[in-house]
Structure 1
Amino acid sequence: MRSYRLTALGSAALLSLAVAAPAAADDDGADRTFTIEDPRITESSGLAASRAHPGIYWTHNDSDDGPYVFAVDSRTGKTVATITMKGVGAPRDVEAISLGSDGNLYVGDIGDNLNGSWDHVWIYRFPEPKVLKDATVRATQFDVKYADGPRNAEALMVHPRTGRVYIASKNEEGGGLYEGPAELKTGSDNVFRRVGEVPWVTDGAFSPDGKELVLRSYFSARGYTFANGRLGKDYPVESPLLPQSESVTYTADGAALMYGSEGERSRVVRVDLPKTGDGGGGGATHRAGGIKESADSDGDGVPVKGTTLTGVAVLAGIGLLLFLGRRRRKG
């Protein structure tokens, strides 16, 4: 959403001073850091890794762009399919997308820039296409209300084991995690109830095993253990410095997080996850806590990855340079 942006100068400075390190990915080039090349995608606000098509990421524009969802190939950054949803009316502010355990894509028309002006929002659902090509699909529309009243939200996550839908509201002072009913239904309101407290959130994603939940904001990310539908222990998660940090998803294999941003030719940055467990017989898992740094650079060699601590140092450095510059001019 467009309510909070870094200045162009500040963004460039942050990116150019970020720490770079090589990123790991599949040998065929899938799931690496990439640039979204489609000129139609200028406000990528959600990401979901395909399970049916390795290396493909589903995304969409926010605001009132229309009922469109795009399949982008991470190997090339090019759009390989455009899906037009029918039967859903006119989307108002699409902010999130998630792939459910049932093989359906869930699209969250859940933004509310006036933070409580709409008494209901919508979720759209349709099966992930088996063939990647432009198509028009009939989506199911679900009406959503919050038990404690309307609010703004940008994060929608479908649990990969239970299939239950969760929404994280967005508020600078902190929001809430809302749990939907066990099964979404048409013809009546689906009431989402607050089950946890979360920080300022622009997107979120469950790990493939459903045991971890990562929530991101503009400047940082945080992970939580997740069990029995509730948040557990929280821990810091490394995140890249991007001009406007809007989206996050796990890779399909759970080996990394992919962070996206808005803007023309926006970047999707891979951050590798360390393995945990003894790994015997290929049983190693990945955990978001303590993510190691991983990055790529653009064609001009400008790094596009940094840690949250790096961002703090960069901001401090910029402030110092501006202060010294003013003193020289006064002298």
Structure 2
Amino acid sequence: MRSALCALGAAAALALLPAGHARAQGQDPDRDFTIEDARITESSGLAASRAHPGIYWTHNDQDAPLIYGVDSRTGKTVATLTMAGVGTPRDMEAIAVGPDGDIYVGDIGDNLDGSWDHVWIYRFPEPKTLKDQTVRAKQYVVKYADGARNAEALMVHPKTGRVYIASKNEKGGGLYAGPERLSPSGTNVFRRVDEVPWVTDGAFSPDGDRLVLRGYFTAEEYAWKDGRLGDGGTPVGAPFQGQAESVTYTPDGSALMFGSEGRNSRVVRVERDSGRPAEKPTEAPGGAPESPSAPAAEGEKGNVTVGFLVLAGATVLVVGAKRLLRRG
């Protein structure tokens, strides 16, 4: 059932991509790439390496303590990290690299919508060499000041090192700030500081001035001011993907990298445009804003509409199926 639903979402996503969208692999880093590792079937988080140019860290939406380093030049896994010193993860959903060079992993998902009274964050130094290895991680207990909830987005501010979590709810969630420094002993209480839309992942820009939050169909980039959202957000033209799960900035902050779940999932680069107006642009297949002087042909518009409806239905089915499978 899971494979059939993923195939449906992937087919819809492919229908939306224009001819010639894929770029040649094995060349420049930080471009579109396909995750080739057959073990990575549910890439649920994405983070650009600080120590290794062109490498992106990801992990499955699962209970195994494994982190994968994927080379954006080839799509191949160049390092598999096994976290030691932590318990069995329940639902790893997010990953980020902090200003201290540490990798933070958010075991923060809760498909039963707040059934667990605490969740966990794991943290370990980004390895200096890219190879399969075991890394010793710290484990932090996390609770929310206003009660348990489901979440899929964890962000570490690149200047202050403060950790933030965005909860996931169809009707809108909350942005939660952790303590100034996480404590490996006791409980780290995260407090609600702002409201957010339906969020599946998020990331801070390298300079810390912006925060991007993505959902299944859209993504917004917000100004960051005084520890909270500084404006109402600007659309960034997220691509249509089978199950849109992850986002991160390129190391230079010039573009966003969008990922999704599924075997051989595609990571798509979307250029930032600081001059883009606040209103939502019309999106061409693949997430690029269309030029007003070159509107899509009627047939292309129809294909996009049909593909979007199929994708929307597939996404709802996949999300529902995942919840049922985990409850079972």
TM category (shorter chain) comes to 0.7 to 0.9
The answer for the alignment partner of 1:132 in structure 2 is 130
SS in 2 for 1:163: coil
The answer for the alignment partner of 1:306 in structure 2 is 287
Q: Partner amino acid for 1:149?
A: G
Take 2:171 and 2:30, find their aligned partners in 1: how far apart are those partners? Answer: 34
CA shift for structure 1 position 260: 0.4
CA shift for structure 1 position 7: 6.6
Take 1:259 and 1:320, find their aligned partners in 2: how far apart are those partners? Answer: 20
The answer for the alignment partner of 2:57 in structure 1 is 58
CA shift for structure 1 position 227: 1.2
- Specify whether residues 227 and 149 from structure 1 end up closer, same or farther in structure 2 by C-alpha distance, changes over 3 A only: same
Verify the 8 A CA contact 1:293 1:306 in the aligned structure 2: no
CA shift for structure 1 position 10: 5.7
Q: Partner amino acid for 2:287?
A: G
Verify the 8 A CA contact 1:60 1:69 in the aligned structure 2: yes
Take 1:116 and 1:194, find their aligned partners in 2: how far apart are those partners? Answer: 15
Is the counterpart of residue 175 in structure 1 residue 173 in structure 2?
yes
The answer for the alignment partner of 1:12 in structure 2 is 11
Verify the 8 A CA contact 1:125 1:139 in the aligned structure 2: yes
Is the counterpart of residue 252 in structure 1 residue 251 in structure 2?
yes
Verify the 8 A CA contact 2:236 2:272 in the aligned structure 1: no
Take 1:96 and 1:134, find their aligned partners in 2: how far apart are those partners? Answer: 21
Take 1:72 and 1:176, find their aligned partners in 2: how far apart are those partners? Answer: 31
Take 2:279 and 2:19, find their aligned partners in 1: how far apart are those partners? Answer: 17
CA shift for structure 1 position 249: 0.3
The answer for the alignment partner of 1:85 in structure 2 is 83
| Structure 2, gaps ≥5 residues long | 291-295, 311-328
The answer for the alignment partner of 1:46 in structure 2 is 45
Take 1:267 and 1:10, find their aligned partners in 2: how far apart are those partners? Answer: 12
Verify the 8 A CA contact 2:78 2:130 in the aligned structure 1: yes
CA shift for structure 1 position 187: 1.4
Task: Point out the structure with max Rg over C-alpha.
Answer: 1
Verify the 8 A CA contact 1:248 1:258 in the aligned structure 2: yes
The answer for the alignment partner of 1:218 in structure 2 is 216
SS in 2 for 1:13: helix
Verify the 8 A CA contact 1:155 1:169 in the aligned structure 2: yes
Take 1:223 and 1:313, find their aligned partners in 2: how far apart are those partners? Answer: 28
TM-score, with length taken from structure 1 = 0.82
Verify the 8 A CA contact 1:242 1:261 in the aligned structure 2: yes
Q: Partner amino acid for 2:58?
A: T
Take 1:264 and 1:107, find their aligned partners in 2: how far apart are those partners? Answer: 21
CA shift for structure 1 position 186: 1.3
Verify the 8 A CA contact 1:23 1:271 in the aligned structure 2: no
CA shift for structure 1 position 18: 3.8
- For 1:209-245, what per-residue CA distance to the aligned partner results, in whole angstroms no more than 9, with x for missing partners? 1110000001111111001101111122210111010
- For 1:294-314, what per-residue CA distance to the aligned partner results, in whole angstroms no more than 9, with x for missing partners? 99xxxxxxx7x1359999965
- Identical pairs, percent: 66
Verify the 8 A CA contact 1:271 1:293 in the aligned structure 2: no
Take 2:53 and 2:74, find their aligned partners in 1: how far apart are those partners? Answer: 13
The answer for the alignment partner of 2:235 in structure 1 is 236
- Specify whether residues 274 and 107 from structure 1 end up closer, same or farther in structure 2 by C-alpha distance, changes over 3 A only: same
- Specify whether residues 29 and 174 from structure 1 end up closer, same or farther in structure 2 by C-alpha distance, changes over 3 A only: same
Take 2:302 and 2:79, find their aligned partners in 1: how far apart are those partners? Answer: 41
Verify the 8 A CA contact 1:24 1:272 in the aligned structure 2: no
Output aligned runs, 1:90-105, within 5 Å.
90-105=88-103
SS in 1 for 2:12: helix
Q: Partner amino acid for 1:31?
A: D
Q: Partner amino acid for 1:306?
A: G
SS in 2 for 1:52: coil
Is the counterpart of residue 110 in structure 1 residue 108 in structure 2?
yes
Verify the 8 A CA contact 1:214 1:288 in the aligned structure 2: no
Verify the 8 A CA contact 1:49 1:58 in the aligned structure 2: yes
What is the aligned-residue RMSD (CA, Å)? 3.2
Q: Structure 1 residues 230-239 or 23-32, which shifts more?
A: 23-32
Matched positions, count: 299
SS in 1 for 2:15: helix
Take 1:11 and 1:145, find their aligned partners in 2: how far apart are those partners? Answer: 35
